[in-house]
Structure 1
Amino acid sequence: MAGTKTVTFDRHQHMLVLANGESRRGVDSYDFLLHRADLQGMRPTELKEALRRVLVDGEVVVNITHDDSVDEEYSVAEPVSFKLSAGQLIVSVGHVNNAIDNDEEAASVFPPLLAPYLKRQRASVRSVEMDLYSYHPLIWNIEISCSLRGRDMADLFQIGEGTLALLRAFESGELTRETALELLRSGNASVLIGQEEGPWLDVKSAHYDLRSPYGKISIAQAVARFANAEHGGIVVVGMRGKRVPGGEIISSTCPVPVDGRTLRSYQTAIEQHLYPPPDYLSIETVPVDGGRLIVLHIPPQPEEHKPFLVHGAIVDGRIEGAFISIVRRRGESSIPITAPAVHATMAAGRALLRRGELPADLEDRP
């Protein structure tokens, strides 16, 4: 029924009562346990009202479990929980990080790191504190204030999960090709929104037109740019970039249609126009916002395989099918490999074939 509340608090039984009539008790008076399935459709304002009835001052904690049954004593709680604190409903994330061991450093690291993602989610970091009961490993409790409008509790839980995924990806101190790939494959692509494109990451909002020579050459060049780069890279089809002062950031996801022929079409275009074939190139689909993205991952390539050549070139918007193009990634843009660099590579190869060593004037060339 439209007027039925999704959750209420029974003061006499001291338990939360769901719309379907099921009840959820807690370990103690101020600690409740919900199943993740309970969050679907549960209105945050109604949970907030129910928790306010538990006590006047202090905090009420709602832990979440993925267990099939909700057992207050034996269920394992997720690192994402909810808290009523000072009358505000908060998303709380418990993050294990031994590299940071004081509040001042944590406050300078975590909020700026999470700001681009949380801003898009209409949320912000409220506080960062060390769990007083943790020693090894250290657990940081990150509290997040979220706009409740137009959301259910499952949405808020997803914000917490996204926060946790981003924190785990940044364990090394910065977003890397490997951690970005992990986020994409785990269904957390939206966490990358607000992050900068760079020397190993490129996004495209729509499919390459693989029915045309232009599209086939374009995808081959996109892969070649990273194959010729030092650290490899990732091309994501289904995310939109936006120019900002100082560069370009990922602004949104825009899932692309995928069918049984999509990945093979990408693979065929690359095979036809890129030589040699890059080692361990992967082309896969990943979930996002109810749709799919195409992710092309190009690991760092052996130097002896470079430069990677594209059969065909795009010159002033025109297709030059008889040309060979050689490109590499530098920063956010692509640049052609220069004639001196190509000549140096060829000359070095010939020298090695003849004498087994490089001449002195070639050893220091780019």
Structure 2
Amino acid sequence: MRQFTFPNGVTVGCYADIDVHLDAIATLRVGAVLESVAPYLSGEAALIVFSESAEEALGLPPDPLRRRMRDCTAGGEAMWFDTAPNRVSLSIEFPPMDDADEVESMMRRSASSWRSLHFESATFRSHSEGDEIEVTFTPDVGVEMRELARDCMRVIASVRGTMLSVDSPHGAMQSLLSHAWESFRGVPESSWLEAKAKLWGVDSAAGQFELALDVASFANSPAGGVIVVGFTTTRDEFDRDVITNVDGIRNIDAAVPRVEEIINRYITPHPRDLRVEVIERGDHRVLVVYIPPQPAEHLPHLVLGGTLATGKYFGGGFSWVERRGTSKRSVSLAEVQQLLRTNRAPGATPPN
């Protein structure tokens, strides 16, 4: 058996392939690892990096199909790296889909969810021991192995179906309550979803007013919405605010009664079945405001006060806001006057 030493001094025994656990090389750059192993690999030999299961790594619910695998004790994953050219391949056994084109479509739709991986191909194989999908990517050689591995785990969980769907307020709440926060990574803000890195300034008039406007805008929208405090967004190449950090924050528990008080004070009528709660995952937390679709007869939900954001003015009067795309839109005085004249709520049918 030969011995191979990685750039960080970790030594492993090897035959044709070089096998190593992710933990041993997690902080090394992908390019440095592939460059170091290339002279030692020949023919079809590969660098095989093992890790814990995708679901365990991402904090997702366990894969219910694991019990069908040949070796039920082998709950980990393997990433196969070729060096000529640089590629990483993932084999997912017993996939719920049996069409490589379907997997390819998923990979291209979800490209923003695994930024260190550039999709190349998907191949479906059926054999006596079970079906599998092999997905191949060109890796970003500038990132650390642990970052690349995390993206690989997201691919595996997505193909298996253990990455929960975040495509509606209800789906978002299910993912949050199941601690499947990774499901949000790569998801853009939308007409029903908003992410905030930190709390509104709940001790200032401006912060309270902004909180009320955010909640009311979703309450006045057909689908309702979810606001998650503790997730960070980054502007992508399509000018979208995409969730990129789902670690959550700490010391947020005391905010729930304060947020509820502000909503009760500023929004009339109070949105029905609204929920404000803190969800914990380990020692990290997110504060979630869930606003379900509201009955038409309760619309519109109005906010006490107006303007601010340096334009000053606050207190008397009211604001009427609706969610438009990823932002709030104030209903103008002219629109309010017209709606009052026709005696209808937004979206309702004008009287004959």
- Displacement of 1:273 in angstroms is 1.5
Which protein shows a greater Rg? 1
Inter-partner Cα distance in structure 1 for 2:313 and 2:220:
22
Q: Which residue of 1 aligns with 2:242?
A: 250
Change (3 A) 1:165 1:268: farther
Establish whether residue 324 from structure 1 lines up as the match of residue 322 from structure 2: no
Spell out the pairing of 1:204-215 with structure 2 (5 A cutoff). 204-215=196-207
Q: Which residue of 1 aligns with 2:113?
A: 117
Spell out the pairing of 1:228-307 with structure 2 (5 A cutoff). 228-237=220-229, 238-240=231-233, 242=235, 248-250=240-242, 252-253=244-245, 258-274=251-267, 275-285=269-279, 293-307=286-300
Q: Which residues of structure 1 form unaligned runs of 5+? A: 12-28, 349-361
Inter-partner Cα distance in structure 2 for 1:150 and 1:242:
20
Q: 2:211 aligns with which of 193, 196, 219?
A: 219
What's the secondary structure of 1:161's corresponding residue? helix
Establish whether residue 84 from structure 1 lines up as the match of residue 84 from structure 2: no
Change (3 A) 1:328 1:73: closer
TM-score (structure 1 length as normaliser): 0.67
Spell out the pairing of 1:3-82 with structure 2 (5 A cutoff). 5-11=9-15, 56-57=43-44, 64-65=51-52, 75-78=73-76, 80-82=77-79
* Residues 98-138 of structure 1: CA deviation (Å, up to 9, x unaligned): 56x5434543x12322322223xx321232111333899x6
Change (3 A) 1:37 1:183: farther
* Total equivalences in the alignment: 317
TM-score (structure 2 length as normaliser): 0.69
What's the secondary structure of 1:322's corresponding residue? coil
Establish whether residue 130 from structure 1 lines up as the match of residue 127 from structure 2: no
The alignment yields a C-alpha RMSD, in angstroms, of: 4.4
Inter-partner Cα distance in structure 2 for 1:6 and 1:48:
15
Q: Which residue of 1 aligns with 2:92?
A: 94
Change (3 A) 1:162 1:262: farther
* Residues 305-346 of structure 1: CA deviation (Å, up to 9, x unaligned): 332222222267324312222222122232335424456566
What's the secondary structure of 1:321's corresponding residue? coil
- Displacement of 1:301 in angstroms is 2.5
Amino acid at match of 2:152: G
Do the aligned residues in 2 keep the contact of 1:8 with 1:50 (CA within 8 Å)? no
Q: Which residue of 1 aligns with 2:3?
A: none
Identity %: 17
Do the aligned residues in 2 keep the contact of 1:9 with 1:53 (CA within 8 Å)? no
Do the aligned residues in 1 keep the contact of 2:17 with 2:45 (CA within 8 Å)? no
Inter-partner Cα distance in structure 2 for 1:347 and 1:280:
20
Change (3 A) 1:297 1:164: farther
* Residues 198-230 of structure 1: CA deviation (Å, up to 9, x unaligned): 211223444311111221121111011111111
Inter-partner Cα distance in structure 2 for 1:211 and 1:39:
46
Inter-partner Cα distance in structure 2 for 1:143 and 1:182:
30
